[in-house]
């Protein structure tokens, strides 16, 4: 989903903005563990602290990432998912803040808005970022937030999805303050055929979403907050000309749902508490989930908003071949890790012939977040762990690797993310880690560590 700014930042910027988070274990929410050395001038390797219950094997070829110390300093809103178009520019959604002098907030209910910008230039540290047109309004009702989701520019046409959130950007439950704790439906794509200058609204709506979910208002979804796989310039590395989209989800009868929280003493971890109320405790929020799902479509203005033209990953057959179906009811998780998933993106790295997936588990939506990077030779797996970045950001979210900024050998990339929207909520103080992070648009140069080329 799109980012949600903290209240403290909102006060400074005079804008109402919401934010997303990644996952933390309850008993370590207030931990002061540092993964960054004191001297980072020469870069550093992020320590990989993989939880014991991790279901993914370690990657035999990619063993971690090194931050070089080079990073951007752009002052703008958050929720950046750049798509590399045929004209050489990057096009991205954004929201919750100001970009190019224009403000935007996606948490306005009937008046929710989303922004769209072009990122001009070949140097990640010297981009010109301009709005392609003023932010567009589209009602979130009966939800309260409607944020940017899957964004793709292909053959000069920009497809821009949104997703809904509820019940509120600041929601108090039994003394604990949550941020957008319930993830809602994806009400289709708005379309631009002139690189974002003019738009045709989605023919769908929050109560008539593309994938027909959830079954009831505020119920769980599977293709939540979806994002397109980045296949490079004008989708040139798609294996079959189709656009592939990842979503995050959860099931109704979760065998181990996330717990209810209450505040501990100042400086101490949040505590769990019994709860019998009908509230899911951000089990599936804008930044927390249990599973990742996959869909695909041949993109065109005629197909993108027609569920009958989509196919969905439905598991593997007895010969380990992927199964695809047009029946959304038969969709199955691509990967799952209960209580350890959330916002998801993926990028194809042609020089390595691998996909890199970024996953952020930001539960409980207003604390430090954990992110990890997986790799695979094919989209349908198997997926393997490259690195697990505990407390990345310290509250880093919306991670992705823009394909335009991948080196020719595939080993140097730029990690795009936003950070620290909710410092101070529930008494949680946040620092920027790695250095150079900020609320808004962050671009950090990283190098993949190779088992054969340390």
DSSP E strand boundaries for 271-353: 271-273, 289-297, 311-316, 322-325, 335-341, 343-349
Please provide residue 383's backbone torsions phi and psi, each rounded to the nearest 5 degrees.
Answer: -100, 140
Sign of the Cα pseudo-torsion (286, 150, 56, 59, in order) = negative
CA atoms of 81 and 398, how far apart (whole Å)? 8
CA atoms of 450 and 454, how far apart (whole Å)? 5
Spans of all domains in the chain = 7-450
The β-bridge partners of 166 are 182
Q: Is the pTM of this model over 0.85?
A: yes
The residue among 82, 53, 39 whose CA lies nearest residue 416 is 82
Q: Which CATH architecture has domain 7-450?
A: 5 Propeller (2.115)
pLDDT in tens, 139-152: 999 999 999 999 99
pLDDT in tens, 296-308: 999 999 999 999 9
What tokens were used for 407?
């080196």
CA atoms of 82 and 93, how far apart (whole Å)? 8
For position 266, what pLDDT does the model report? 72
pLDDT in tens, 151-161: 999 999 999 99
Instruction: Tell me the pLDDT band of 276, cut-offs 50, 70 and 90.
Output: confident
The residue among 454, 342, 348 whose CA lies nearest residue 401 is 348
CA angle (451 as vertex; 450, 454 as ends), nearest 5: 60
Average pLDDT, the chain: 91
Residues in the chain: 454
The β-bridge partners of 228 are 245
Name the strand (E) or helix (H) holding 11: helix 7-13
pLDDT in tens, 18-57: 333 333 333 333 334 457 665 556 799 999 999 999 999 9
């Amino acid at each position: 989903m799109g980012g949600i700014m903290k209240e403290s930042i909102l006060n400074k910027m005079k804008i109402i903005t919401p934010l997303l988070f990644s996952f933390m274990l309850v008993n370590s929410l207030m931990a002061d563990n540092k993964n960054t050395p004191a001297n980072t001038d020469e870069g550093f390797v992020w320590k990989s602290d993989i939880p014991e219950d991790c279901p993914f094997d370690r990657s035999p070829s990619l063993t971690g990432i090194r931050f070089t110390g080079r990073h951007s300093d752009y002052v703008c809103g958050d929720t950046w998912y750049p798509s590399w178009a045929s004209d050489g520019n990057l096009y991205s959604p954004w929201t919750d803040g100001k970009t190019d002098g224009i403000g935007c907030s996606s948490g306005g209910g009937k008046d929710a808005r989303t922004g769209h910008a072009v990122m001009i230039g070949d140097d990640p540290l010297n981009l010109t970022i301009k709005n392609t047109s003023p932010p567009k309004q589209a009602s979130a009702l009966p939800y309260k937030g409607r944020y940017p989701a899957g964004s793709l520019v292909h053959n000069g046409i920009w497809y821009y999805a949104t997703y809904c959130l509820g019940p509120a950007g600041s929601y108090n439950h039994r003394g604990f303050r949550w941020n957008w704790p319930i993830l809602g439906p994806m009400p289709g794509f708005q379309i631009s055929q002139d690189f974002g200058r003019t738009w045709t609204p989605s023919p769908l709506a929050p109560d008539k979403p593309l994938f027909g979910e959830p079954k009831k208002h505020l119920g769980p979804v599977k293709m939540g907050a979806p994002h397109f796989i980045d296949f490079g310039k004008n989708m040139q590395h798609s294996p079959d000309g189709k656009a592939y989209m990842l979503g995050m989800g959860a099931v109704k009868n979760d065998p181990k749902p996330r717990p209810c929280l209450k505040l501990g003493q100042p400086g101490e971890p949040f505590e769990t508490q019994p709860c019998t109320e009908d509230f899911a405790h951000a089990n599936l929020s804008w930044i927390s989930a249990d599973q990742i799902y996959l869909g695909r479509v041949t993109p065109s203005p005629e197909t993108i908003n027609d569920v009958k033209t989509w196919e969905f990953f439905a598991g593997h057959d007895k010969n380990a071949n992927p199964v695809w179906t047009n029946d959304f009811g038969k969709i199955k998780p691509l990967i799952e890790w209960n209580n350890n998933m959330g916002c998801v993106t993926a990028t194809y790295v042609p020089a390595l012939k691998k996909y890199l997936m970024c996953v952020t588990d930001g539960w409980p939506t207003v604390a430090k977040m954990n992110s990890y990077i997986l790799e695979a030779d094919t989209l349908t797996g198997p997926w393997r762990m490259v690195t697990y970045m505990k407390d990345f950001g310290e509250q880093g979210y919306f991670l992705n690797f823009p394909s335009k900024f991948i080196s020719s050998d595939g080993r140097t990339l730029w990690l795009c993310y936003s950070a620290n929207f909710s410092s101070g909520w529930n008494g949680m103080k946040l620092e920027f880690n790695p250095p150079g992070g900020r609320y808004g648009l962050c671009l950090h140069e990283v190098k993949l560590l190779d088992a054969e080329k340390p």
